[in-house]
Structure formats: C-alpha cells, structure tokens
Structure 1
Amino acid sequence: MILTTDILRTWFRQFNTDYFGGELPMPRIVLSKARTRLGTMACKCTRRLLKRVYSDFVIRISTYYECTEREFQETLLHEMIHYYIMYKRIPDTSSHGKVFREIMHQFNSKYGWHITITSSMRGRKVADESGRSRRSAFLVLAVILNDGTCMLSVVSPKSARKLDVMAKGVKEIADYRWYMSSDPYFADYPVVRSLRARRVDKELYNEKTAAMQPLVLP
C-alpha cells in the first residue's frame, strides 16, 4: 500500500483511543527511507534540576520496503509502545525490556496483533514506486475556511488561474495560498481542475505549508 503521514495520524488517533486511554499527544510523524528498521521513536531529553524531561517526540515509519497495511499498523503500534513508556516515564529494564514485552504480549494475545521485538529485512522486497506520480513537483492550493477548517488540494497548472479567481469569490474561504512542493505525500491526491480540496488537521496543514515553497501566480 502507499502510506502517507495522514494515514498514520488517523491510525495513531484510533490506537491511542483504543489501547492507550487517549493519553498520548500527537507526536511528529515522519515517513523515512530507512533500510535497517521499519520504525523508530525518538525524543529530546533535557535535564531540569534532578529530573529528566522528554519532549519533541517523533515517530518515523520506513516506506523503503513493501509492507501490508497490517504490517505498517503493527510497526506503528510497536513505536507507540515505546512512546507510551517514555512519555509516562515508566522505568524499564532495557529498550525492549520487561514493561515493553508485557504491553506487546497483551496487545498480541488480547487484540490479535503480531507485534514483534525486531523485524528482519532479509528477503523483503523494495517498494516499487513506479505507480506513484512521475511528476517532480505539485501545485498545491492551501485553504483555510472561516470556521478554521484546513484543506489542501493538488491543482492542474492549466486550471490554477481559473481556480484562483473562483477562490476569491467564495465567502466561506478566510485565506488561501499557492505553493509548489515535491513532497511524495501529495502523490495520492487527485489533480483537480475544479475548486475541490481534502480536509486535513491543523497540525498537518501547518507542517506541509511550512515545508513548501510559496508561489505567486502570474
């Protein structure tokens, strides 16, 4: 399957509610091309007086290898267990120590997952990206509605000026901006020629627009 950070965030919210009591704040979720690991969890550690403070949590999921939806979900759950233990400051015997293994075995036996300590890369097939968009850049329209709803759209360059005029006349639009991006995240977006967009959460909107190149239409 083609994985996106949007999909991972949706899974994260569901798993957080189902298995972690909704206690985990949304971390930064990133796609990687790591070849030795399917997933990692990292954070920043600082000392305040005699106490360690953990912040800036980030979960990275590799898309270098072909994986099923279930495999991606189990990789995310593996990293969420790490996140939970670190965020809750639960002492453990090692990275994959007693506490980690207890939670992992509970998820496997109670909910039917097959989370493992490690995943072998041997024999795994490298993901074929030929089905993804061959375009090197995407023309992105970023929209914020009056009620705060955030939306993103990939627009056909031939329709950009027409949609720009249309957007100016929509009273529900509080703000809209054009960007150029080479982010593979937009590969699964339809290329639109009408004023259509995909709703995204504010965190994702801010992340994507901050990383894109602003564009002023001629």
Structure 2
Amino acid sequence: MTLTTDILRTWFRQFNTNYFGSELPMPRIVLSKARTRLGTMACKCTRRLMKRVYTDFTIRISTYYECTEREFQETLLHEMIHYYIMYKHIPDTSSHGKVFREMMHRLNSRYGWHITVSSSMRGRKIADEQGRSRRSAFLVLAIVLDDGSRMLSVVSPRSARKLDVMAQGVKEIVDHRWYLSSDPYFADFSKVRSLRARRVDQDLFNEKTAAMQPLVLPK
C-alpha cells in the first residue's frame, strides 16, 4: 500500500483511543527510507531539577520495503509502545524489556495483533524497485529565515556552490542546509539557478528534511 503521514496520524488517533487510554499527545510522524528498521521512536532528553524530561517525540516509519497495511499498523503500534513507556516515565529492564513485552503480548493476545520485538529485513521486497531506479535524485536547499519561515528549493547542481555562498551572505537566512532526495514531492519544483525557494509550513518542512539524506557540498 501507499503510506502517508495522514494515514499514520489517523491510525495513531484510533490506536491511542483503543489501546492507550487517549493519553498520548500526537507526536511528530515522519516517513523515512530506512533500510535496517521498519520503525523508530526518538525524543529529546533534558535534565530539570535532577529529573529527566522527555520532549519532541518523533515516530518514523520506513516505506523503503513493501508492506501490507497490517504490517505498517503493527510497526506503528510497536513504536507507540515505546512512546507510551517513555512518555509515562515507566522504568523497564531494557529497550524491549519486561514492560514492553507485557504490553506487546497484551495487544497481541487481546486484539489479534502480531507485534514483534524485531523484524528481519532479509527477503523483503523493495517498494517500487523499478520506479525507484528511474526516479531522479533532487538536490534540495532547505532554508530557515529569521522570522521563522521555512523554505524549500530544488537547485541545479551546477549552481549549488554559487547559491551556497549567496545564502551565507543573506542576513535574513539564519540556517540553510543541503539534501539529496528522490521524493516525488519535488518533481514539480523548477531547478533553480538563483536564490529562489518555495515557502512551506513548519510541519511539512520538518517531515521532508527528516526523510532526506543530508549533503555537505564539496569545497
């Protein structure tokens, strides 16, 4: 199936209500092209008054391999268990320790899921393998302005060094980074040779940059 972040958010709301008592705030949900894991859950940890505080929860689901709807759902549930344990500050014996396994077995036995501790990538078919080989790679410039605006641009590779220097000299640009992407989202962008970019909202900016491969331009 073709997975989208909107589908994942819909599933998250449903699972949160059905299995987690509606206690989990909506995290950042991102599609990735990870090859070694179908899903991950990450967050930031800081110390305040001798206590650990967890923020910026992010769940990433890989679409690199072909998966059924059920497999994607079970991957999301796996990461939601991690999220619940971390969000509720529940001590566990390890990453997939006693608490995690008890929650996993409860969902499997009561509701007919087949959530597992880990998934093997061996033998899995790459999603749209033929289309992937034909798909272009886009050189993407991601820009953050001093007013908080986010912008994305697809750049002609021959103009990358020139635009990198130009971006460094624009005082309104507080951060700019380069990425490689094969995301079809960028197919309707013009390949620019001047410092032009498309304004996007922060959620879309974060989703796209998290899924792309960071690139350092050669000196």
With the shorter chain as reference, the TM-score category is: 0.5 to 0.7
> In structure 2, what residue type is equivalent to 1:16?
N
1:10-89, aligned counterparts within 5 Å?
A: 10-89=10-89
CA contact (8 A) 2:32 2:60 kept: yes
AA in 2 matched with 1:40: T
Counterpart residue type for residue 119 of structure 1? S
Q: Secondary structure at the match of 1:3?
A: coil
Partner residue in 1 for 2:176: none
Structure 1, residues 172-199: CA drift from partner, whole Å, max 9, x if none?
xxxxxxxxxx884859xxxxxxxxxxxx
- The one of 193, 203, 207 equivalent to 1:207 is 203
Maintained 8 Å contact 1:5/1:185: no
| Cα distance in 1 between the residues matched to 2:9 and 2:54 | 21
State the Cα distance separating 1:208 from its structure 2 match.
2.1
SS in 2 for 1:6: helix
Q: Which residue in the other structure is 1:105 paired with?
A: 105
Query: Contact between 1:4 and 1:185, CA under 8 Å: does it hold in 2?
Result: no
Partners of 2:30 and 2:207 within 8 A in 1? no
Give, as a single letter, the amino acid of the residue that structure 2 aligns with 1:208. Answer: L
Unaligned runs of 5+ in 2: 139-180, 187-199, 209-219
Residue equivalent to 2:161 = none
Distance 1:211 1:113 in 2: 28
C-alpha distance after superposition, 1:22-50 (max 9, x if no partner): 11000001111111100000000000121
Deviation at 1:62, TM superposition (A): 0.6
> How far, CA to CA, are the matches of 1:130 and 1:4 in structure 2?
20
Opposite residue 71 of structure 1, the aligned amino acid is E
CA spacing shift, 1:211–1:54, aligned 2, 3 Å: closer
Mapped partners of 2:88, 2:184: distance in 1: 31
- Tell me which moved more, 73-82 or 128-137: 128-137
Task: Return the offset for 1:79.
Answer: 0.1
- Residues 75, 130 of structure 1: CA spacing in aligned structure 2 closer, same or farther, 3 A cutoff? same
Aligned to 2:146: none
Q: Deviations over 1:85-124 (max 9, x none)?
A: 0000001010000000000000000000000000001111
Per the normalisation by structure 2, the TM-score is 0.63
Letter in 2 for 1:125: K
| Equivalences, count | 152
Which is further off, 78-87 or 4-13?
Answer: 4-13
CA distance in 2, matches of 1:11, 1:205: 23
